[in-house]
Amino acid sequence: GASTATVDPNTASDLSVASAAPAYDEEEQQNIAVYKRALPSVVNITSTEVQWNFFYGPVPQTGQGSGFILNKEGLILTNNHVIEGSQRGGSVEVTLSDKHKYKAAVVTVDRGHDLALLKIDAPNLVPATLAETSTGLMVGQRVYAIGNPFGLSGTMTRGIISAIRSIGSPANGNVIEDAIQTDASVNPGNSGGPLLNSRGEVIGITTLIAGNPGVDQSAGIGFAIPINTAKAVLDDFAKYGRIRRPTLDIVSLEIGPDQAGQIGLPADYGLLIERVLPGGAAEKAGLHGGTQRAYEGNFPVTLGGDLIVDFDQQEITNAQDLGNEMNKHRAGDTVTITVFRGRRKMDFKVILGDAKDTPQGPQT
């Protein structure tokens, strides 16, 4: 005869309780919510650069990175180093989360902040939600990175903010102020993608990793450009159609104790103005360049100019210090520059110039 199954009432009640319990705990639900909110805004970026082989034949080289959608009109933010190769006769292709591919135009770049704006023409785009500010971020705060590590699209990793610190960018040598350090696993291909808070808002742009290239790419130390820096760049673009980087319009020489002693300067450190560019910010403010030709090793230098020692009460000992302070400002801002002219200490009010309008030559 047919067998009859019997059910233990205790087991039955256990099963019904188990099936009524939520499938995911609170933490998992938050992870899933962040991913679902942010993923449609994250894009993969393939940059193609044309190089030439030994026989002068074109050899396309491709690199991959990430980015995120800013608006329904198709503006996309990424790192400049992700697409820089395409500027040499190459092209940029963007792949959306739904796998549709679009050719992208490079709208503008800000090499100083390692940022680039792209544009695609595509329907039904989902813009990312930018955090109101990256000021006040706390070490220990949970963060998420979504991007394209090693070409693995739609990858999310999670960690915390490990520190907020200034760090030199290997892409251009400039300092990233208030960079967000995280232990969320990031790898080649994550560059340009969003770093998100627990609400799925973009607080930074994943930019670089620490580790031994080719060995342990993810060493638990990644860095992101804070969203406040990106917003300043985007504001410039919205107002002026380009990025306005501030400049003093000077050519300068770093001074250390040795040079200061040899030249007889009143301070051991600073930036000696060799030349003020005609019509530039420094010249308009009354700062002086040098008049005496000399040599440092085999390099010709010009001595006798003003020695910059402070920028808005912040000590300036080298070009990096000045770069750090300049990064906090915009073209058109008024700042106080403190210099030694001979033995006399003087303050000058300087209206920062626009690097785009710099009359000639290299500048700071």
Confidence of residue 90 (pLDDT cuts 50, 70, 90): confident
- So what's the pLDDT on residue 12? 47
Mean pLDDT of 238-262: 83
The larger pLDDT score, comparing residue 151 to residue 33, is at 33
pLDDT class for 78, splitting at 50, 70, 90?
Answer: very high
Mean pLDDT score of the chain, rounded to an integer?
84
Provide the pLDDT for residue 259.
Answer: 82
Question: Which stretch of 28-42, 57-71, 121-135, 329-343 has the lowest confidence by average pLDDT?
Answer: 57-71
Residues 103-118, mean pLDDT to the nearest whole number: 90
Q: Which DSSP category does 172 fall into?
A: T
Average pLDDT over residues 280-304: 86
Quick check: 60 pLDDT over 60? no
Residues near 93 by beta carbon (within 8 Å), at least 6 away in sequence: 45, 46, 48, 101, 102, 103, 104
What pLDDT is stored for residue 360 in this prediction?
A: 40
81 carries an active-site annotation: yes
Instruction: Please state the rounded mean pLDDT for residues 211-234.
Output: 75
Reported residue count of the chain is: 364
Average pLDDT over residues 241-265: 84
14 labelled catalytic: no
Percent of the chain having pLDDT more than 70?
82
Residue 336 CB neighbour total at 10 angstroms: 12
Q: Which of 29-43, 92-106, 165-179 has the lowest mean pLDDT?
A: 165-179
| 255-275: average pLDDT | 88
128-156 average pLDDT score: 93
What pLDDT score does 297 carry?
67
Annotated catalytic residue within 41, 110, 113, 114: 114
- How much is the pTM? 0.71
User: Is 252 a catalytic site residue?
Assistant: no
Task: State the average pLDDT over residues 167-174.
Answer: 68
Alpha helices in 130-245 (DSSP H): 227-240
Joined together, the tokens standing for residue 337 give 């520059």
Q: Annotated catalytic residue: which of 41, 47, 66, 81?
A: 81
Is the model more confident about 332 or about 361?
A: 332
Q: pLDDT tens-digit profile of 112-139?
A: 788 999 999 999 999 999 999 998 899 9
Catalytically annotated residue among 66, 86, 134, 191: 191
| pLDDT recorded at residue 235 | 86
pLDDT computed for residue 3 by the predictor: 45
- Please check whether residue 179 is in contact with residue 223, taking contact to mean a CB–CB distance below 8 angstroms: yes
Q: Tell me, what's the pLDDT at 216?
A: 47
Highest mean pLDDT: which range of 189-203, 230-244, 292-306 = 189-203
Among 345, 257, 335, which residue's Cα sits nearest to residue 307? 345
Q: How confident is the model at residue 187 (pLDDT cuts 50, 70, 90)?
A: confident
Buried b (16+ CB within 10 A) or exposed e, 296-326: eeeeebbbbbbbbbbbeeeebbeeebbbbbb
How many helical (H) and strand (E) elements, i.e. helices and strands, does the chain have? 7, 22
- Give the pLDDT confidence score for residue 61 in this predicted structure: 59
